Structures are given as C-alpha cells and as structure tokens.
Chains A and B, each alone.
Chain A
Amino acid sequence: MAAHQVHHLFHAPIADHSFSSDKKTLAVARENNVELYQQSGNKFALSDELKGHEKTVTSVDIAPNSGRIVTCSQDRNAYVWEQTPTGWKPTLVLLRINRAATFVRWSPSEQKFAVGSGARVIAVCYFEEENDWWISKHLKKPIRSTITTLAWHPNSVLLAAGSTDSHARVFSSFIKGIDTRPEPSAWGERLPFNTICGEYLNDTAGWIQGVAFSPSGSALAFTGHDSSVTVVYPSAPEQPPRAMLNIATRLLPLNSLIWNGETEIIAAGHDCEPFRFCGDENGWQLAGSLENKAGEVRGAREESALNMFRQMDLKGQAQADTKLKSTHQNTVHTIRAHEEANGVVSSFSTSGVDGRVVIWNV
C-alpha cells in the first residue's frame, strides 16, 4: 500500500470537505466560512474564502462537471456559489426550513441538490429558468427526526437519507421537467415525488450517520451510532428486502462510508482510521483497518536513562503518549471517493475534527 498524503490545514474541526473534479481545488467547511485551497506542488494553499453564512457551515459539495459549489449552514440557508471573473458569486436558496441545515449533496445529474435539516424535512432544490431562481420541494413524510446524512442514487431520482430517528430511508425525488423518468428497478417502478421506496431500521437502532448506494445503485449501506454497518439488498417494490445484513463491530461508531465496487465498503469514524468491510449478499465482515501501523517507528530520540528521567521530571511520565498512532488525530467526519473509475475507488479522502484532510490509496 502506497503512502497516503496528509494535509494538515489548520487546528479546527472540518465539518465537510470536497474536491473539484481535477482534484486541484479543495473546499473545506471551517466554522462560518468555506475555505478554498489550491494545490501547489504537493501542498494545498489557501486561495479564497466563501463568506456569507452567519452560523457554522455544516456541509459543502462541489459539482464535478459544472464546478458550482453548494453550501449549507446552521443559519438555515443554502448558497450556490458560481465562479465569475470577479470571484465567487453566491445565490441564496430559499429552503423554507426553521431548523439548521445539516447536509447537502448535488445529484449526479447536477440539476438538483438535496439539503437535510433538523426541521424533519429534506429540501430537494432545482433551478427554475423562467424565474431565475432555485426552488425547493420538501420530502417530509415519514421523517420523525433530524436528517443527518444523504446519498444520491446514480439515477439522480432516488435519494437515501439517514436520520436520528434511527431509520435509513430511500425516497423518490422525481421532479417533472428536470428528471428523465427512471428505469424501473428493485426500488420501485413508478416513482412520483416523495414515494418511500424503503425504510430500514436495524436491531440495535442507533442514529444513522452515514448512508451510501452501491455503484450500481442496487444495494444500500448505512452506518450509525450503534457501531454497526447494515447492508440492504432490495427485492422488489413494496416487498421486504431480499437480504438485510448487519455487521456489529467492536469499534467505536462510524460516521461515514463509501462503496468500493459492489463487494467492499470503506468506513471511518470515531476510531480515527478507515476500515474495510468485505462481503456480498451472503454475508459481510470487517476485513481490517486500512492504516498500516505495524511499521510505526517511535521517535528517533535516544532512549537513555537521562532522557527518561528528564521526561519524568518535565511531564510526570516516561513517555509522552498524547499522539494517536493513527494518521487522523481525532474523529473522522467525512469520507469521499477521490479517484474512481466504474465504481471502483483507487483513492479516497477523509477529513475530521483534527483539521486534516488525508488522501488514501486503496
């Protein structure tokens, strides 16, 4: 496994991060602003700041093709930022929510984006040409609590959402005039807006923190506060799933996950390192950490008796062990595919509370 790249940007939590499609621009949500970093050499340097939100920015996403950036914040607003010759120009999107916006993602078609919120709704937003305005439509039923995470199906119509009511749901966000009618699949045949194509609760019922569709879109994985990953294979519309597999891990809870092909999931969270899960419809298991800690060499400092007593005198302990052995020094919030081809991920990026963005080779 080749070495991973660590970019320690600042000493503040990163709520979310997103790379542009050429991987040269990195957007990170830092407090009330979004900072844009530009690659120079093998480093990322601060190039611009997107200022406009009045409270903590919770999520940021760069559309790969159009390059537009969407951000959302606890101030209940979302902005779409477009690059103009004079800099980034924000457009306010009226979300019509009365609680914080928690999560935003562009649909793969880039015609729409979805915003999760604490107001128990998902705002699906699309651009209306005649009014030159972003419109939001609400997915409401049967959400009982805050939406914490969202993921788009490759067809840009189905949307998976995880919530603090412990359910992962699959909705249709079909909008006439914007979307082309999706092919019927195991999730559903006719899919008017707000069709509930699936509603899943695992036995141990934790808050859902991460959801993801498999590359083909025919399986859904979600993880939550119960330290488990659940994979759902739907059978047919309105039928119970063909298989619903739960992997209860011995780890701390996981926050975010991505698929790598149809038989592998990479997830990271409170254990500060990414883990690999392997399996298929017949069973899944934890394959291990992607972090190579075996070759860890402790500081090249000479371990003399003098040094030991000096450390004990200065710090009250022989060896300072305030540093974690993992690359991330705190909880990982977001994991995203960095480079992928046909659903197979060759590298992925993680960001977290420690202010680091790490690019990992698979």
Chain B
Amino acid sequence: MSQINYRTINVDALDPESSANFPMESLLPATLPQAASASDAASAAAQVRQMLRGGDPEGALRTVLDTAPLGGDDRAKEVHLATVIDVLQGIRQGEMTRILEGVCSGDGGAERADCLMKYLYKGMSSAAPGSGTQTPKKPVSPQDTGFSQIQARNLGEGGGGQQMSVLLSWHERLVEIAGTGSIVRVMTDRRTV
C-alpha cells in the first residue's frame, strides 16, 4: 500500500459532471473554417504586405481580416497577428476613420469589425516585441478561457509603447463605429484569433 495523498487528487478531473470538464469545443460553431497552417498565414501575410506597399491600405486591412485563421493553430495565429499589427501600424492616424468606415461597411463588415476588435485586444495582451523572450503563457483559470489573468502587462514602456498607442487609437475609433457590442463579442466568441 503506497502512500496516496488524497488531498492532492484533482477530484474535478475525475467527475464527469464537474463544470471543470465542460467541453469548450462545443462552443465552436459548425461554420468554423478549415484549420489554417502557419505557411498559409505566411502567404497571406506576403499578399497583404504587397497591397500595403502598393498604396492600398484599405484593401490590405480588409484582406488581412478576411483571412484570419480562426480555426488555425497557435503558430498560424501568431504569424497573422504580426501581419495585422503591421497593417495597423502602416496606416496613418488621419486615415484611420475613413479606412475603418470602408472596411466595416458592406457585406461582412460587422464580422470584420469584430475580428479587428479581437486583434486589438490580442495585440494589447501579448508582450511587446523586443521586451525579452515571450514566455509561454500558463493558463491560471481551471478552464482555458482564452484570457490569461496573470501576465506581464504591457505598461507602455520602451518599444511596446509605440505599438500600444497605435492599438489604443484604433480601439477608440473602432468603438465609435462598432459600439460596445463588439467588445462584448470578443469575450464570448470562441473563434479566437
């Protein structure tokens, strides 16, 4: 009889009725697109950067939001996040409102607005580039809710400050167009970017 420390047993994991075992994949809609790989994201990035250089920032933003790898793996999502942030940083302050209005109108405009909001929050939550190695995030909540609570905040110091201020001014303008509903949907939507 070996010593079993019953206090350390995670009883929630053994209880099929426990809410800790809630199947999170049941919240993904059936319309989720095929999983994209990192190389797909990279080729989309090349196409978007081409458009950005060619002087079509609105088309670039539209394309980058339409090709978001909602069903992709973490690597693809990271590559795509970098592309989105590049596009956002490549658009001048004065043009933001005009471009946003273009991107968020028409067919699928509301989805693009929600998608952009997801990227803004993801961009703000991820550590600033150049502030050392990106530590792998440890989920602290029992379920992986997608929102890590303990994490080095980007406090706007050093290299990250620039990116943060760009994201914040995009956020301000996007809320003007898409409203608070868009922020709420970032929290509920399980199709993470």
Query: Which chain A residues have a beta carbon within 8 Å of chain B's beta carbons?
Result: 144-145, 165-167, 201-207, 224-228, 248-253
Q: How far is the CA of A228 from the CA of B22 in the complex (A)?
A: 23
Q: Chain A residues with Cβ under 8 A from B184's Cβ?
A: 206, 225-227, 252-253
Q: How far is the CA of A203 from the CA of B19 in the complex (A)?
A: 22
Ordered nearest first, which 8 A-B pairs have the shortest CB separation? Answer: A250-B179, A227-B181, A206-B188, A226-B188, A250-B181, A204-B189, A205-B27, A227-B184
Q: Are A251 and B26 in contact (CB under 8 A)?
A: no
Q: Chain B residues with Cβ under 8 A from A228's Cβ?
A: 181, 185
Q: Are A203 and B22 in contact (CB under 8 A)?
A: no
Complex: chain B residue closest to A200, CB-CB: B29
The distance from the CB of B13 to the nearest CB of chain A, in whole angstroms, is 17
- Give 22 pairs: A residue, B residue, CB < 8 Å, sorted on A: A144-B26, A165-B22, A165-B26, A201-B30, A203-B189, A203-B191, A204-B189, A206-B184, A224-B188, A225-B188, A226-B184, A226-B185, A226-B189, A227-B181, A227-B185, A228-B185, A249-B179, A250-B182, A251-B179, A251-B181, A252-B181, A253-B184
Most chain-B Cβ atoms within 10 A of its Cβ — which of A144, A205, A228? A205
Q: Are A145 and B22 in contact (CB under 8 A)?
A: yes
The distance from the CB of B172 to the nearest CB of chain A, in whole angstroms, is 15
Q: Are B185 and A204 in contact (CB under 8 A)?
A: yes
Q: How far is the CA of A251 from the CA of B179 in the complex (A)?
A: 6
Q: Chain B residues with Cβ under 8 A from A224's Cβ?
A: 188
Q: Chain A residues with Cβ under 8 A from B26's Cβ?
A: 144, 165, 167
B110 within 8 A of A: yes
A201-B27, A205-B27, A248-B110 as given contacts; A145 in contact with B182, CB under 8 Å: no
Q: Are A145 and B180 in contact (CB under 8 A)?
A: no
Q: Are B189 and A251 in contact (CB under 8 A)?
A: no
Complex: chain B residue closest to A206, CB-CB: B188
The distance from the CB of B17 to the nearest CB of chain A, in whole angstroms, is 8
Q: Chain A residues with Cβ under 8 A from B190's Cβ?
A: 205
Query: Which chain B residues have a beta carbon within 8 Å of chain A's beta carbons?
Result: 19, 22-23, 26-31, 110, 114, 178-182, 184-185, 188-191
The distance from the CB of A163 to the nearest CB of chain B, in whole angstroms, is 11
Q: Chain B residues with Cβ under 8 A from A167's Cβ?
A: 26
The distance from the CB of A239 to the nearest CB of chain B, in whole angstroms, is 14
The distance from the CB of B183 to the nearest CB of chain A, in whole angstroms, is 9
Please classify the interface of chain A as helix (H, G, I), strand (E, B), loop, or mixed, using the class held by over half of its residues: loop
**One of A165, A250, A251, A253 near B27 (C-beta < 8 A):** A165
Complex: chain B residue closest to A201, CB-CB: B29
Q: Chain A residues with Cβ under 8 A from B30's Cβ?
A: 201
Q: Chain A residues with Cβ under 8 A from B178's Cβ?
A: 250
The distance from the CB of B16 to the nearest CB of chain A, in whole angstroms, is 11
Q: Are B180 and A204 in contact (CB under 8 A)?
A: no
Q: How far is the CA of A205 from the CA of B189 in the complex (A)?
A: 6
Q: Chain B residues with Cβ under 8 A from A225's Cβ?
A: 184, 188
The distance from the CB of A274 to the nearest CB of chain B, in whole angstroms, is 16
Q: Are B29 and A203 in contact (CB under 8 A)?
A: yes
A144-B22, A145-B19, A166-B27 as given contacts; A205 in contact with B180, CB under 8 Å: no
Q: How far is the CA of A186 from the CA of B63 in the complex (A)?
A: 40
Q: How far is the CA of A228 from the CA of B182 in the complex (A)?
A: 10
Q: Chain B residues with Cβ under 8 A from A207's Cβ?
A: 188
Q: Chain B residues with Cβ under 8 A from A201's Cβ?
A: 27, 29-30
Most chain-A Cβ atoms within 10 A of its Cβ — which of B110, B114, B185? B185
Complex: chain A residue closest to B19, CB-CB: A145
Q: Chain A residues with Cβ under 8 A from B22's Cβ?
A: 144-145, 165
Q: How far is the CA of A166 from the CA of B28 in the complex (A)?
A: 10
Q: Are B23 and A144 in contact (CB under 8 A)?
A: yes
Q: Chain A residues with Cβ under 8 A from B182's Cβ?
A: 248, 250
Complex: chain A residue closest to B30, CB-CB: A201
Besides A201-B29, A205-B28, A248-B110, 13 more A-B contacts (Cβ < 8 Å) are A166-B188, A202-B29, A203-B31, A205-B29, A206-B185, A225-B188, A227-B184, A228-B185, A249-B179, A249-B181, A250-B181, A251-B181, A252-B184
Most chain-A Cβ atoms within 10 A of its Cβ — which of B26, B114, B180, B184? B184
The distance from the CB of B12 to the nearest CB of chain A, in whole angstroms, is 15
Q: Are A204 and B188 in contact (CB under 8 A)?
A: yes
Q: Are A248 and B114 in contact (CB under 8 A)?
A: yes
Q: How far is the CA of A202 from the CA of B114 in the complex (A)?
A: 14
Q: How far is the CA of A228 from the CA of B179 in the complex (A)?
A: 12
Q: Chain B residues with Cβ under 8 A from A203's Cβ?
A: 29, 31, 189, 191
Most chain-A Cβ atoms within 10 A of its Cβ — which of B27, B178, B182? B27
Q: How far is the CA of A226 from the CA of B191 in the complex (A)?
A: 13
Most chain-B Cβ atoms within 10 A of its Cβ — which of A167, A248, A252, A253? A248
Q: How far is the CA of A201 from the CA of B189 in the complex (A)?
A: 11
The distance from the CB of A121 to the nearest CB of chain B, in whole angstroms, is 12
Q: How far is the CA of A109 from the CA of B62 in the complex (A)?
A: 53
Q: Chain A residues with Cβ under 8 A from B181's Cβ?
A: 226-228, 248-253
The distance from the CB of A278 to the nearest CB of chain B, in whole angstroms, is 17
Q: How far is the CA of A197 from the CA of B185 in the complex (A)?
A: 27
Most chain-A Cβ atoms within 10 A of its Cβ — which of B19, B178, B180, B181? B181
